[in-house]
Amino acid sequence: MKRPRLIAAGLLYLVNWYNKRQATEQPETAPEQNTRPEPEQLDQAAGDLVDDILWDMPIEDAIVTTWTPPRSADPYLATIHATEEREGIPRDLLTRLLYQESRFRPDIITGQVKSSAGAEGIAQIVPRWHPGVDPLDPDQAIPYAGNYLAELHDQFGSWSMALAAYNWGPGNLRRQGFQHAPAETRAYVAQIMGDMGNFEGDIYV
C-alpha cells in the first residue's frame, strides 16, 4: 500500500520546484507587471493537488497506520489489543513491535530459536533483565511487554524514544542519547514508526 503522507510530501516538493523553475525561466518584469503567483496561491495549488490524490481518504486516515498484522499474529491479537487499550498504546503499535521482535514465528515464540543476546519469546525478553515473567508464555509476555513499553513512553516522552529504549535499553538511551544509538536501534525505530505513522508529534527517525 502506498503511503499517502509520503506522496503528499513529494507532490508539495514538485509543485514548489516547478514554480521556482518557471519563475527563473520567465524574463524579469517591472514590479507592477510581475505575474508570479503569490505564496498563498502556491499553497492553494499544492493543497488542491494533494486533495486530488487523497480525495477519498479522511486526513486522519492519512496519518495513521498503513501496516496490517500478518495472519500469524491472529492467535495473539485479542491479548495484544486488550493490552494496548489498557496501557494507552496506539492501536497496533505493540503488534508491530512484536512483529519486529519475533515475526510471530512459532520457533521463536516457543524458544526453539533464541537471539545471541539471550532474548526469548514473542517479545524477545531477556530473562536475566526481566526475571518476573515467563518470556515463552505469550499470555504473560505480551501484557508485560505492553506495560514496559508504556513505562518507557512515560520516561522518555514519545513512542519513538520508547521503542529505542525497548531495543537498546533505557540506561543506554538515557546516558548516551539517541544521537549515539547503534544503527540497529535507529533502523528498529525507523521501520516501526515508518509503518505505524506519527503519534503525539513523534518524528520518523
**Each residue of 130-171: pLDDT tens digit?**
999 999 999 999 999 999 999 999 999 999 999 999 999 999
Count CB atoms within 10 A of the CB of residue 20: 11
Q: Which of 109, 126, 108, 128 is nearest to 117 (CA)?
A: 126
C-alpha torsion sign, points 75, 78, 84, 86: negative
Catalytic residue among 32, 40, 101, 151: 101
Question: What gap in Å lies between CA 164 and CA 171, rounded to an integer?
Answer: 11
Do residues 121 and 103 make contact, with C-beta atoms less than 8 angstroms apart? no
**101 has catalytic annotation:** yes
Mean pLDDT of the chain: 78
User: pTM of the prediction?
Assistant: 0.68
Q: What is the pLDDT of residue 66?
A: 74
Do residues 101 and 123 make contact, with C-beta atoms less than 8 angstroms apart? yes
